[in-house]
């Protein structure tokens, strides 16, 4: 989906949500959530091709695909948790959104440990 179409879907969804929020707040939240899902699904193929391109570049330079997979997993956690936290904020649950963001940061730290370990091993191996 072209960026202009994505913007169009976003604007229509936001306006519908805004208009309905006064009369039917529960439906307004569902419209906002559906708008986000439609936008995500519209870029899923593009996201998939981007991941494939990153994996191809990693293979080209001989980078361990496990590390690239971990980086992609960390990026996925960031995107999904940000989307979920934004939905919670839209629903008026900013405390829940904060907890989701905190959990995402902890998970990203845990997933990054093997990469940090490999990086430190490389640094120690270069030292005289």
What digits encode the pLDDT tens for the residues 39-83?
Answer: 989 998 888 899 999 999 999 998 888 889 999 999 999 999 999
Question: Domain map of the chain by residue range?
Answer: 1-50, 64-128
81 near 30, Cβ under 8 Å?
Answer: no
Asked whether residue 90 carries a pLDDT value surpassing 90, the answer given is: no
Asked whether residue 11 carries a pLDDT value surpassing 90, the answer given is: yes
C-alpha to C-alpha distance for 39 and 1, rounded to whole angstroms: 9
Question: What count of other Cβ atoms lies within 10 Å of the Cβ of residue 20?
Answer: 17
Percent of the chain whose predicted confidence (pLDDT) is above 70: 99
Q: Does pTM surpass 0.95?
A: no
C-alpha to C-alpha distance for 6 and 33, rounded to whole angstroms: 15
Asked whether residue 23 carries a pLDDT value surpassing 70, the answer given is: yes
Q: Report the pLDDT value the prediction gives residue 101, as an integer from 0 to 100.
A: 97
pLDDT band at 1 (very low <50, low <70, confident <90, very high): low
């Amino acid at each position: 989906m072209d960026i202009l179409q994505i913007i169009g879907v976003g604007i229509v969804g936001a306006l519908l949500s805004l208009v309905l929020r006064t009369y039917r707040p529960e439906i307004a939240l569902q419209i906002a959530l559906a708008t986000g899902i439609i936008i995500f699904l519209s870029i899923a193929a593009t996201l998939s091709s981007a991941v494939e391109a990153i994996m191809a570049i990693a293979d080209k330079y001989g980078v361990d695909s496990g590390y690239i997979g971990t980086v992609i997993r960390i990026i996925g956690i960031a995107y999904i948790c940000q989307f979920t936290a934004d939905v919670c904020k839209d629903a008026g649950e900013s405390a829940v959104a904060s907890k989701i963001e905190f959990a995402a940061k902890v998970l990203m730290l845990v997933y990054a440990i093997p990469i940090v370990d490999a990086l430190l091993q490389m640094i120690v191996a270069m030292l005289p």
